[in-house]
Amino acid sequence: MVLKHEKFFALPKWALILLIALNIVVAIYAYTLGDIFAFIGADLSDAQFSEIDIIAVVQIVLIAVTADAAFRRTVINLNRINPGKRIPNIIVTAGSLIIMSLIGLAGFILLYDHNLTGLLAASGGVGLGLGYVFRDRIADIVASVSLQTDGLAALGDYIVIFEGDERIPETYEVIQMEHRLITLKGTTYGLIKKFYNNKFLELDYINVTKQEPNRGFRRHLTISLGSHCDSEKVTEILNLAMECVISKNKFFRNWYLCGAFDLKGGHVEYIVRYECDPNLDLPKELTNCLVLNTIMLFLKAGAIDLTSSPNEAGAQLDLKNRLTAFASLGFLAALNEEDLTYLAQHAHFVRTSAGEQLIAKGHEAYSMYLLLEGRLEVKVPNAEGKSIAVASIWPGDIVGEMSLLTGAPRSADVFSGTSALMIEIEKDDISPILERRPQLIQNISDVLAQRAAHNERVKSGADQDKNTSENSKNIAKKILKFFFNK
């Protein structure tokens, strides 16, 4: 594709051939008058125009036009052969001016019989004066040539400029390039900035588009945690959070880097670097928000103390605190504090190692798992009978909820993708709560039905609200039958 600033006018091939033919015809006619080059014998200094003088002027004009047309056709052919290193329009314009100037200067000398040394000296003095007057404009044009010929910037490129004393990176798209100006549009707020070309070259910037293939926008955020936190565990959670973000969002590239990088006043600074697709043009505030939300969820699931000192947090590793931290998930949202306290006294932790099978499809096992740390994988057999992962389960997710509440057989095989820590809740743990408060059955059924309707809307876009009430009744019947055989 040829961009707007790369286009330039050139005569078609047939017109160039016609010009060459006209040059030959004029040269033949000039030969009948004495010389094949009429301007050798012509002289306009006497202010008397003869036939050979007119032919000489026509011949010089034809030579200039033909040379310029041949130059432009040559550039077009070169650009076609090597599209990766196109000669820009500004170079073509400069080349045309040079051709016309040189041929015009030669014609002036030949036709008026002036002294070449004196003419060059006079034109040099005028050139110096004009150069000084238009020095800024010339600098911008030269900078434009440098930008385009050296491939420093082009239309559609994404530029990261480091602004201010703190070198804060801001991303812009190149939307217009002129002989003197380059116009940028900010990807965050859409603000338009114009720079003179020579001033743009002085900026501290990186052309992201010109980086190696598949390189995107690299962004980062920092998190400060107390030095009492286990830095190795924190780094592991940060890496897992980025795996989750990348798997769920197509505009994140498969590159990230997490770890501790500084210690300040009893706090450890952690940095999370990641890469975004430059073609999707998302503001960094949005991508940072997505990353930070996932990180905070995973840190909470991993019982990482987010306060400034361990004394303020209390015991965060006990089961009750870790269970109540996710009281809004699944059917737990229907329970009150008393119910959660009872559940915490009877539920228990489960640890698995990488590759260990947690759930087998079709088995009857009346329990569910709340994943706190690590990653689980849902696997199905392929055509060769080998299990392959088709989905991931992340910290804060619940597995096996319907088996716990309705006795439904396990619907899939689930393995530990990494070492994992979960809270397992069994039928016997929840049964006394339902016996004491049977009205919870309807509340739990409503929660599950509403979540199922929401998932269906996200998946298909269809309105499922009209079926929510009926689904809730069906779930309530299954719970009653499973727990109380009613």
Q: Which domain holds residue 471?
A: 438-486
Q: In Å, how far from its chain's centre is CA 89?
A: 29
The CATH number assigned to the domain holding 241 equals 3.30.70.100
Cα(362)–Cα(40) distance, rounded to whole angstroms? Answer: 102
The tokens for 300 are: 């909470």
Asked if residue 54 belongs to a domain, the reply is yes
Q: Are residues 153 and 113 in the same domain?
A: no
Q: Are residues 45 and 128 in the same domain?
A: yes
Number of domains comprising the chain = 5
Asked if residue 138 belongs to a domain, the reply is no
The CATH number assigned to the domain holding 172 equals 2.30.30
Q: What is the pLDDT of residue 100?
A: 83
Q: What is the pLDDT of residue 108?
A: 77
Task: Please give the angle made by the CA atoms of 482, 444 and 319, to the nearest 5 degrees.
Answer: 95
Out of 379, 405, 427, pick the residue that ends a domain: 427
pTM of the complete model beyond 0.85: no
Out of 210, 226, 251, pick the residue that ends a domain: 210
Q: Are residues 198 and 234 in the same domain?
A: no
Q: Are residues 19 and 73 in the same domain?
A: yes
Pick the closest to residue 357 from 317, 412, 290, 278 (CA basis): 412
pLDDT in tens, 436-477: 988 888 988 888 888 777 766 656 655 555 578 888 889 889
Q: Are residues 240 and 225 in the same domain?
A: yes
Out of 101, 133, 165, pick the residue that ends a domain: 133
Q: Are residues 378 and 453 in the same domain?
A: no
Asked if residue 142 belongs to a domain, the reply is no
pLDDT in tens, 328-364: 888 888 889 899 999 999 999 999 999 999 999 999 8
Q: What is the pLDDT of residue 312?
A: 45
Asked if residue 273 belongs to a domain, the reply is yes
Asked if residue 143 belongs to a domain, the reply is no
Q: Are residues 222 and 201 in the same domain?
A: no
Asked if residue 125 belongs to a domain, the reply is yes
Q: Are residues 8 and 114 in the same domain?
A: yes
C-alpha dihedral, 231 to 234 to 240 to 245, nearest 10°: -120
Q: Are residues 285 and 304 in the same domain?
A: yes
Q: Are residues 111 and 222 in the same domain?
A: no
Q: Give the chain's residues under pLDDT 70.
A: 1-8, 45-47, 84-86, 88, 90, 113-141, 143-145, 148-150, 166, 213-214, 280-281, 308-317, 455-466
Asked if residue 469 belongs to a domain, the reply is yes
Q: What is the pLDDT of residue 1?
A: 42
Asked if residue 141 belongs to a domain, the reply is no
Q: Are residues 233 and 255 in the same domain?
A: yes
Q: Are residues 347 and 226 in the same domain?
A: no
